[in-house]
Amino acid sequence: MTAVSGSTQVSTSGVSATVTQVSGGTGYTSVPTVTFSAPEVSTGTTATGTAVIGETAGVLSIASDPDGTGYSDKTTVEITAPDLASGVQATATVVVADDDTIAGFVVTEAGSGYTTTPGVTVVDSDPTPGKGAVATATLTDTAALGLVTHIIVDQAGSGYESVPTISITGGGGSGASFTAALANTVTIAGTGIRLSLSGHQTAGGQIKLAYSVASGDTCEAKRGSITLNKSG
């Protein structure tokens, strides 16, 4: 809402810093683009924000089942590359038992940037290589992988008369959904005066408003309330 008193313009402050997650979506491998809808007031500015995706995982451990047979001391393990280009390749070594089966694996570098479980291949470069071992990796905590966990409001914008919509595009995923809220503060241009307003309607039809007025960063806010009675 925009109002004019004399030559002083008052405009809404824009989007609240609190943006609520409806769904984090799935499959995001890079930061998607966040777009707020434009304000209704022609002189307003559009809010902007930045999405944050869940931390990417590394390799926690590797196990084999079955353990195969005939493996030599030349046996190594290959782990597929991380999903994200900025990720770090995980590495591991193989422990071969006295009976030439796979006894276990030692993760030497957990890596990062894995959004899905990597493939693991046991390779024996001996002329008569071992065979039969099937290895699988386990990632570190995956609860937030591929999700948009929250949105940071970079610029609140101004001139919004209703709550803007938020669209989230790109990033390799889909389904992320967030809702915005309007800040309940108006600023009188050129004065540093800020007005915060909240209210509710009673069962009897009265409208009760609470307000807080502050000027500058150090002045104590003045607070009060107004009751509007139902006419007629």
Is residue 88 in a domain? Answer: yes
Is residue 210 in a domain? Answer: no
- Going by pLDDT thresholds of 50, 70 and 90, the confidence category of residue 189 is low
Same domain, 69 and 27: no
pLDDT of residue 2: 40
Same domain, 87 and 63: yes
Is residue 131 in a domain? Answer: yes
| Position 92, amino acid | A
Q: How many structural domains is the chain composed of?
A: 2
Is residue 217 in a domain? Answer: no
What is this structure's pTM?
A: 0.53
Same domain, 74 and 132: yes
Q: Give the residue from 139, 174, 207 where a domain finishes.
A: 139
Same domain, 118 and 160: no
Is residue 43 in a domain? Answer: yes
Is residue 199 in a domain? Answer: no
Task: Round to whole Å and give the CA distance between 55 and 146.
Answer: 8
Segments forming the whole domain that contains residue 165 = 15-54+146-183
Same domain, 43 and 95: no
List of residues 6+ apart from 186 with CB closer than 8 A: 10, 11, 12, 13, 194, 195, 197
Highest mean pLDDT: which of 4-13, 103-112, 158-167, 199-208?
Answer: 103-112
Each residue of 75-102: pLDDT tens digit?
999 999 998 887 899 999 999 999 999 9
Same domain, 89 and 153: no
Q: Cβ(148)–Cβ(51) under 8 Å? A: yes
CA triple 101-105-107, angle to 5 deg: 165
Q: Cβ(182)–Cβ(15) under 8 Å? A: yes
Give the position of tokens 């009265």.
206
Each residue of 47-65: pLDDT tens digit?
999 998 887 789 999 999 9
β-strand 185-188 against 148-155: which pairing, if any? unpaired
Same domain, 48 and 151: yes
Q: Cβ(130)–Cβ(100) under 8 Å? A: yes
Same domain, 91 and 150: no
Same domain, 68 and 126: yes
Is residue 29 in a domain? Answer: yes
| Position 83, amino acid | D
Is residue 108 in a domain? Answer: yes
